[in-house]
Amino acid sequence: MPTPVKRKRQPQQITFAFIFKQWIAPLFFITVGAIVAAFALEEFLVPFTILDGGVVGISMIISQLSGMPLGILTIVLNVPFMFLGFKRLGIRFLIKAIYAMAVFSSFLGVFEDMPAVTEQEILVVVFGGVLLGVGVGLILRHGGCLDGTEIVAMFLSKNTEFSVGQIVLFFNIIIYAVAGFLFGPNRALYSLLTYFITSKIIDIVENGMEQGKSVMIITDHGKEIADAIYTQLGRTCTQMEGKGMVSSGKKTVLYCVITRVEVPAIKKIINDADVSAFMTISDVSEIVGNHIKKKKAPVNKNSAAHPK
């Protein structure tokens, strides 16, 4: 059997479009995210001793007890984790993470002496959590990082049965327990509620409306449904053959990936095309490739299912 010839990867041509996409645009959004996150902390959470999670939360505790500037503590405590992340994620991550922390810390100082936006604690929790989630989500979406806890969790998850999210949650529960001991149970409970709000907003901002959904359709009319999905949504389907265990009849199984905003459209396609179709929709944690952003193409009427 002949040995396959390895193709040399062509070096990336450095153009303004490449620089804009890889650096200028991401750094702009990282800047916006860091400013928004700093505003959320200093104008909503810090005045009421409501803590963020991770290294930032530890920095807030030390700042409250010692009076040291929160911005300096955030940088000092995060630096070791950033270099740990460099070994796993590379120089681009390190540059963006350091830049995000620098902007974040600088604006913590800018907003420090400004009066709090509101005195209502429930508004502080809700709007502080939402703004913090928006800021951190923008940073993560564009390749930066404000907190080294996730990096530690990545390494620990490789040697344990726990996921990154579970390890981060475990760290944060310890932080909030310490906060409850030092500042009272109300502060810990408010902090925990803020954490859950922030986490949900981070997911929405980081994944955006482009978050993938996998769709599996079991039907007797595979060609018609695949054609309709391709025509209306521009999504291709992979066709598989199945067999009903009770009816013993042959079934067509279609698999495709769509965005969350396309879910109502594909439901309508199924309802209009085949009342007997069975469809499941699941979240997709990661998509590799360009399928999810594929533009519509003209329908090939000679193709039954437009396989990937």
Domains annotated on the chain, with CATH: 16-208 (no CATH), 211-293 (3.30.70.120)
Phi and psi of 285, rounded to 5°?
-75, -30
Residue found under tokens 């508004």: 123
Chain segment 148-166, per-residue pLDDT in tens? 787 777 677 667 777 666 7
The pLDDT of residue 200:
85
Distance CA 58, CA 77 (A): 9
The pLDDT of residue 290:
58
**Mean pLDDT of the residues in the chain:** 80
Chain segment 257-297, per-residue pLDDT in tens? 887 778 888 888 888 775 678 888 887 766 666 554 444 44
Chain segment 207-222, per-residue pLDDT in tens? 665 567 889 998 888 8
Beta strands in the chain (DSSP E): 212-219, 238-243, 250-259, 278-283
Position 79, amino acid:
V
Regions in the chain scoring below 70 on pLDDT: 1-13, 87-89, 154, 157-158, 163-165, 207-211, 246-248, 274-275, 285-308
Tokens coding 132: 């913090």
| Vertex 167 angle, CA 206 and 144, to 5° | 35
Instruction: Identify the three-state secondary structure at position 67.
Output: coil
The pLDDT of residue 43:
92
The pLDDT of residue 29:
94
Residue closest to 148 by CA, chosen among 188, 98, 191:
98
Residue closest to 193 by CA, chosen among 124, 243, 262:
124
DSSP state of 4: P
Residue found under tokens 């810390």: 105
The pLDDT of residue 291:
53
Distances (CA, A) of 122 to 78, 100, 119, 287: 30, 28, 9, 37
